[in-house]
């Protein structure tokens, strides 16, 4: 009896075709990955399609431009700050909150956001204003106000400490240092910001 030297190769299972929200999430994740690794300038629709393992047409059907895609990628992927620290001291709470903000900005989605802030020209950056304000600035200010409000209840902070201008200081300084100065905050600089700026503004 003669046996064949050749055996059939095992059939390769076909990868399931993704549709709808599953495919859209894969594309948005790929866009965030591109932003965090090659930045705004290096991101291409072709690269996103390759990262999502789909065709370029599938990307363009949903997002006609790079800006449209990045807006949605940031909207679903921006770093989240969900709770304010409660250590019993406004100073300590604000210091910890600053650390949480810095940690969020060094996440994948944080790097994606920073690439937009650093690389986009003024006209392009306007396209991202609302998503950055609603996804980053407003939540940060809300948590700062929560910390300050507790300080008022404990008698640490003057009445009116939740004034918008006061509570905008930390996010504004973080954005300024990152966008304008191109440098990052160290722990000692956070301490100086809280002790030399925020505590005097909040003191009774």
Sign of CA dihedral 22, 27, 28, 33: positive
Residue 80 lies in a domain: no
Calculate the average pLDDT of the chain: 87
Q: Are residues 196 and 101 in the same domain?
A: yes
- In what helix (H) or strand (E) does residue 192 lie, and over which residues does it extend? helix 187-193
Q: How far is CA 197 from the centre of its chain?
A: 25
Using the predicted structure, report yes or no on whether residue 5 has a pLDDT greater than 50.
no
Residue 121 lies in a domain: yes
Q: Which two tokens stand for residue 20?
A: 């709808």
Chain segment 174-188, per-residue pLDDT in tens? 888 877 776 778 899
Residue 187 lies in a domain: yes
Full residue range of the structural domain in which residue 119 is found: 90-202
CATH number of 35's domain: 1.10.10.60
Residue 130 lies in a domain: yes
Q: Are residues 95 and 196 in the same domain?
A: yes
Within 8 A by CB and 6+ apart from 18, the residues are 26, 54
Q: Are residues 163 and 133 in the same domain?
A: yes
Is the model's pTM score more than 0.85? no
pLDDT for 164 equals 93
Using the predicted structure, report yes or no on whether residue 124 has a pLDDT greater than 80.
yes
Alpha helices in 63-186 (DSSP H): 66-77, 90-105, 108-119, 122-126, 129-132, 138-154, 164-167, 169-179
pLDDT for 18 equals 62
What mean pLDDT is predicted for residues 80-97?
93
Q: How far is CA 189 from the centre of its chain?
A: 22
Q: Are residues 66 and 114 in the same domain?
A: no
Alpha carbon distance 107, 74 (integer Å): 13
Crossing angle of the two packed helices 90-105 and 138-154, in degrees rounded to 10: 170
Number of structural domains found in the chain = 2
Residue 12 lies in a domain: no
């Amino acid at each position: 009896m003669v046996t064949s030297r050749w055996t059939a190769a095992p059939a390769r299972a076909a990868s399931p075709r993704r549709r709808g929200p599953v495919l859209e999430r894969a594309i948005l994740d790929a866009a965030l990955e591109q932003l965090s690794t090659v930045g705004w300038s290096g991101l291409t629709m072709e690269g996103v399609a390759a990262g999502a393992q789909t065709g370029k047409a599938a990307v363009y059907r949903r997002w006609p431009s790079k800006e449209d895609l990045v807006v949605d990628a940031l909207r679903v992927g921006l770093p989240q700050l969900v709770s304010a620290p409660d250590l019993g001291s406004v100073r300590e709470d604000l210091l910890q909150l600053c650390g949480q903000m810095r940690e969020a900005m060094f996440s994948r989605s944080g790097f994606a956001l920073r690439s937009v802030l650093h690389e986009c020209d003024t006209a392009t950056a306007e396209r991202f204003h609302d998503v950055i304000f609603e996804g980053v600035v407003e939540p940060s200010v809300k948590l700062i106000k929560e910390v300050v409000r507790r300080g008022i209840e404990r008698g640490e902070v003057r009445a009116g400490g939740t004034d918008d201008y006061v509570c905008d200081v930390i996010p504004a300084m973080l954005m300024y240092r990152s966008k304008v100065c191109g440098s990052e905050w160290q722990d000692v600089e956070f301490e100086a910001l809280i002790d030399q700026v925020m505590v005097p503004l909040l003191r009774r």
